[in-house]
A and B are shown apart, each in its own frame.
Chain A
């Protein structure tokens, strides 16, 4: 039993939460600006795929991360075009992105690597060792096992908080989400702000995917996100669109995932197939019990029409 609750569990929880943290902070920013972001899943999957392809071609994980950022910008722009410029229904457009992500990445595996379903292993993002801290007993393992992406992910949370609530740009973003007409009347460029917010969310979601493939396992597998983009969205709602609670939600769901993994490893007497469902069940329970009537940004999901 002490095997289950151990530093290994903490590490696993960090590694499994990190994609959720990236995607959830991205979703938070886009939703704060008033654009529903159901497309986190698709953007994550594309990021995971493009990251592995880039490393395969270049041999460098750094290039993989940069490629992930690039595809995130592209997808964010596309999504923003549909949602902000065309003012198409945001959930339907996002569903399109998710379906396309699944289909395109799945189809391209065979084209790129000649084998269906899964890519060969590529070089992973290397872990960083923090001198001094790594020598600490018990917790020291953490400081030699995390990558630059992990540290970035952790830094994102206070950065997002500071940006949204202590800068004028953050105020504009929130204004676009609460009342775009009022924001426009004070000179805020609603369209541009929403575009930027969605593009940022695209980059972050994509980085979450890059983490999933490059930092966690070093391969791309068809459909490997397995609903994590939606779990990240659940974290956003569970966290009431505030950075630190959202971070807590992502950690909670990641912990559920980690628990499920470790339980299998130590042979806990629950069927393996059912344990896999744990994160999804936790997400539903969290939404049901802690949220009540969700306090979303007031103008979310509504297209903005320039007068």
Chain B
């Protein structure tokens, strides 16, 4: 079914970039611009861009182990990106993914260590609980927005800081969940709840399958279910949504819960697959990179997957980047920020060029995209 014309900022972003060729060229352009813009900053940080980018490439793709690390880092980024993308598709600025994934990771670590269930069951229960934790963390902003019109940008960010506090407290020396053997962490997760390694000798674990499944589920929900349709209509044009009988407040709450659930899953997958326990500050800012990942992926699960791979490369390569080019990990946040800036800018350029060439605005549905790629008989 066709969507109404976008009137909201995020809606216009999603609308402008529908269509595979446009998406691919925008993606390449945005990355190129971001990497280019990072060059002067690299100079400012006393390092040579050529060495830096070569180190990044080698550290992310130069060996089996590197590729494993790339996929490993891409996993929580993909799930986090899905969380952000789902919310953004509904016009909701969920910037609280970092806090939501922290809560998910914490619950996963706690239940993984404290419960005693058969293998498989334990894992499923833990993952489910983590998703619930993330969803719950998104509930307060959701309700405040739906019932009181409070903008979710501020509330979700506030909850990030509250999450840092609460999680730190729970693994502090007097905390409820702190391990007896290691400070600022929970006990190790039982084997029955761990995500097994799948590619020796890399650290890649089964979490990537969870992520892929989640991605497919997200695509299906967004583009093949009535709820997903309602979600996207609310995101493009809330006024049209009301005319169509869609309740924006219900959609807002459900969307934020879904978004928080994906975020919680992101945290859980890291804790259960990579670290095998929860520890304070286990996330190097995945929730914030997820914003860039979602925008770079144009809020579409397939795009988000590719964007997650790109950022996974950045993260994996950052170790060598530090070692060989002396550039700190902060460079990734910088490239993140540049990507977000250039997505905002390239969307504008795209709209300008569309208007200039007189092309009618395409309706952002998968069928329209499929028709656009059909070769003429």
Give chain A's interface residues, CB within 8 Å of chain B.
Answer: 38, 82, 86-93, 95-104, 106-108, 110-111, 116, 226-227, 230-231, 233-234, 237, 271, 273-274, 276-277, 280-281, 283-284, 287-288, 291-294, 301
**A274: chain B residues within 8 A (beta carbon):** 165-166, 169
**A98: chain B residues within 8 A (beta carbon):** 337
Q: Is B54 an interface residue (CB 8 A)?
A: no
A301 to chain B, nearest CB (A): 7
**B341: chain A residues within 8 A (beta carbon):** 82, 93, 96-97, 100
A227 to chain B, nearest CB (A): 5
Contact call A291/B148, Cβ cutoff below 8 A? yes
Secondary structure of the B side of the interface? helix
Q: Is B149 an interface residue (CB 8 A)?
A: yes
Contact call A103/B333, Cβ cutoff below 8 A? yes
> Which residues of B263-298 are within 8 A (CB) of A?
288, 291-292, 295
B253 to chain A, nearest CB (A): 15
Q: Which of A89, A96, A103 interacts with B10 by CB under 8 Å?
A: A89
Secondary structure of the A side of the interface? helix
Contact call B150/A288, Cβ cutoff below 8 A? yes
Contact call A89/B333, Cβ cutoff below 8 A? no
Q: Is B95 an interface residue (CB 8 A)?
A: yes
Contact call A280/B340, Cβ cutoff below 8 A? no
B311 to chain A, nearest CB (A): 12
With both beta carbons as reference points, the residue of chain A lying nearest to B342 in the complex is identified as A96
With both beta carbons as reference points, the residue of chain B lying nearest to A289 in the complex is identified as B148
Contact call A288/B330, Cβ cutoff below 8 A? no
The size class of the interface chain B forms with chain A is 35 or more
Q: Which of A89, A100, A104 interacts with B13 by CB under 8 Å?
A: A89
Contact call A277/B161, Cβ cutoff below 8 A? yes
Q: Is B247 an interface residue (CB 8 A)?
A: no
B85 to chain A, nearest CB (A): 13
A99, A101, A293 pick with most chain B CB within 10 angstroms: A99
Complex Cα–Cα for A93 and B341 (A): 6
**B334: chain A residues within 8 A (beta carbon):** 99-100, 103-104, 107
19 other A-B residue contacts (CB within 8 Å) besides A92-B295, A111-B46, A237-B150: A38-B153, A82-B344, A86-B348, A88-B347, A89-B13, A90-B9, A92-B9, A95-B291, A102-B288, A103-B335, A104-B330, A107-B328, A108-B45, A227-B160, A230-B158, A274-B166, A287-B154, A293-B148, A294-B149
A-B contact pairs, 25 of them (CB 8 A): A82-B345, A87-B348, A88-B344, A89-B10, A92-B13, A98-B337, A99-B292, A99-B333, A99-B336, A102-B333, A103-B330, A103-B334, A103-B336, A104-B41, A106-B328, A107-B327, A230-B158, A274-B169, A280-B159, A284-B144, A284-B155, A284-B158, A287-B154, A288-B144, A301-B9
B358 to chain A, nearest CB (A): 18
> Which residues of B4-50 are within 8 A (CB) of A?
9-10, 12-13, 41, 44-46
Contact call B162/A277, Cβ cutoff below 8 A? yes
A118 to chain B, nearest CB (A): 14
**A292: chain B residues within 8 A (beta carbon):** 148-149
Q: Is B130 an interface residue (CB 8 A)?
A: no
Contacts A96-B341, A291-B150 given; does A273 touch B336 at CB 8 Å: no
With both beta carbons as reference points, the residue of chain A lying nearest to B41 in the complex is identified as A104
**A226: chain B residues within 8 A (beta carbon):** 161
A121 to chain B, nearest CB (A): 22
**B44: chain A residues within 8 A (beta carbon):** 108, 111
